[in-house]
Amino acid sequence: MSSTKRKEPLLYMEEHRVKEDPQDYGLADDVFNMEVFKKKLQVAIIRNDEDGLEFDMIGVYPAIANAFRRLMLSEVPSMAIEKVYIYNNTSIIQDEVLAHRMGLLPLKADPRLFAYRTEESSEAGTEQDTLEYELKVKCTRRKDASKDQSNFDDIYKNHKVYSGHLKWLPKGKQAQIYSESMVNCIHEDILIAQLRPGHELDLRLVAVKGLGKDHAKFSPVATAYYRLLPQIKLNREVTGKDAYLLQSCFSPGVIGIDENECAYVKDARYDSCSRNVYRYPQLEDSVTLGRVRDHYIFTVESVGSLKPDVIFLEAVKVLKKKCRAFIDEIEAE
């Protein structure tokens, strides 16, 4: 990742506390300089696939890294069911609980294609800001079921209501713009309720665009966080039995053992930082555990509506917008 060798500011993980490097005065004393910042900032994408993005952000203040994390959690919009019109619910699940469960269903709809609902917008909503679904499920007894069957799947029809039962009701021209696979639930197998013969659900669901700070259901990420890059330094040679013991104190693949049965640090990146070395008096002094204070390993796990890299970019946009608004505010003075 970092091609140029740089002096890495460290935090030391002692047995009972995290200690700062006595030589490190932190970033607080630095005068912010765009050029320096640009030079220092490095971003490296490690992994980017459907369910997660891992990238490194090096050389920034924690405040900036944290801002992105916070924004991804709570200020990147997504679509979620906000209103549930219950026409019939004869199941045992209470209306409010059912509505709450519906709200938590993750939707595939891309929030960038929709507008927020405003105070003035009508109750029904428009095709720009609203998605509508319906859920009509009625549980019946299977007529062909024989008497000695005990499996509910064989006896009842529709006795389990899944998120796949949700049916999208295109509003206005929505049918021409979106397809069903673009707006339906991400997962089809989320159990919403269980029914018994005679039970019926008839709901109309209204999804709107919202923010995670409003309600967790609008958060586009399952989680987004960063951790600091671990650094392990062997202070002395550890060999033999102790080497294997040392290896077992860290996550697999962190400590390697060479042909001389001598331990060496293979890759500290994926160490879980359990600090279990300190358990063994004979190893206690052999390692220095540290973390690079300005090397952030971001992990973004998307709920599924947006790709994790998009979520990050959205967060950057939000930050930009906020900065712009702030600058405008200052300049207006």
Partner 1 sequence: MVELKKGESLIEANVWDPGDSKEWATPIKPLEEKWKLLPAFLQVKGLVRQHIDSFNHFINVDIKKIVRANELVTSGADPLFYLKYLDVRVGKPDIDDGYNITKATTPHECRLRDTTYSSPITVDIEYTRGTQRIKRNNLLIGRMPLMLRCSNCVLTGKSEFELSKLNECPLDPGGYFVVRGQEKVILIQEQLSWNKMLTEDFNGVVQCQVTSSTHEKKSRTLVLSKHGRYYMKHNSMTDDIPIVVIFKALGIVSDQEIMAHIGIDAKSQNRFGASLLEAFNLKVYTQQRALDYMGSKLVVKRFQSATTKTPAEEARELLLTTILAHVPVDNFNFQMKAIYVSMMVRRVMAAELDKTLFDDRDYYGNKRLELAGSLISLMFEDLFKRMNWELKMIADKNIPKVKAAQFDVVKHMRAAQITAGLESAISSGNWTIKRFKMERAGVTQVLSRLSYISALGMMTRVNSQFEKTRKVSGPRSLQPSQWGMLCPSDTPEGEACGLVKNLALMTHITTEVEERPVMILAFNAGVEDIREVSGNPINNPYVYLVFINGNVLGLTLNHKHLVRNLRYMRRKGRMGSFVSVHTSYTQRCIYIHTDGGRLCRPYIIVENRRPRVKQFHLDDLERGVRKFDDFLLDGLIEYLDVNEENDSFIAWNEEHIEEGTTHLEIEPFTLLGVCAGLVPYPHHNQSPRNTYQCAMGKQAMGMIGYNQKNRIDSLMYNLVYPQAPMVKTKTIELTNFDKLPAGQNATVAVMSYSGYDIEDALILNKASIDRGYGRCLVYKNSKCTVKRYANQTFDRIMGPVKDALTNKVIFKHDVLDTDGIVAPGEQIQNKQIMINKEMPAVTSLNPLEGQSTQVPYTAVPISYKGPEPSYVERVMVSANSEEDFLIKILLRQTRIPEIGDKFSSRHGQKGVTGLIVDQEDMPYNDSGICPDMIMNPHGFPSRMTVGKTLELLGGKAGVLEGKFHYGTAFGGSKVGDIQAELERHGFNYMGKDFFYSGITGAPLQAYIYSGPVYYQKLKHMVQDKMHARARGPKAVLTRQPTQGRSREGGLRLGEMERDCLISYGASMLIMERLMISSDAFEVDVCRTCGRLAYCSWCHFCQSSAHVSKISMPYACKLLFQELTSMNVVPKMILEDY
As measured in angstroms, the least distance from the Cβ of 331 to partner 1 is 28
**Which residues in 228-287 contact partner 1 (CB under 8 A)?**
228, 251, 272-276, 279
- Region of 64-72, 134-142, 173-181, 316-324 interacting with partner 1 (CB under 8 A): 64-72
Q: What is the DSSP string of 174-233?
A: HHHH--HHHHSBS-S--EEEE--TT-EEEEEEEEEEE-TTT-GGG-SEEEEEEEEEEEEE
| Count of residues near partner 1 by CB under 8 A | 46
- Residue of 53, 58, 73, 315 interacting with partner 1 (CB under 8 A): 73
- Region of 33-41, 88-96, 116-124, 318-326 interacting with partner 1 (CB under 8 A): 88-96
Phi and psi dihedrals of 228, rounded to 5? Answer: -85, 150
Which residue, 98 or 243, has its beta carbon nearer to partner 1?
98
Take residue 28 and report the two structure tokens written for it: 């607080």
Residue 238 burial (CB < 10 Å; 0-12/13-18/19+)? buried
227 binds partner 1 (CB under 8 A): yes
52 binds partner 1 (CB under 8 A): no
Residue found under tokens 């390993």: 297
As measured in angstroms, the least distance from the Cβ of 332 to partner 1 is 28
As measured in angstroms, the least distance from the Cβ of 20 to partner 1 is 9
As measured in angstroms, the least distance from the Cβ of 72 to partner 1 is 9
Pairing of strands 200-210, 78-89: antiparallel
Please give the Cα distance from 270 to 82 (Å, whole number): 39
Residue found under tokens 């939707």: 107
Please give the Cα distance from 34 to 176 (Å, whole number): 47
Q: Which residues bind partner 1 (CB under 8 A)?
A: 11, 13, 16-19, 62-63, 65-67, 69-70, 73-74, 86, 89, 92, 94-97, 100, 104, 212-213, 215-217, 219, 223-228, 251, 272-276, 279, 291, 299, 301
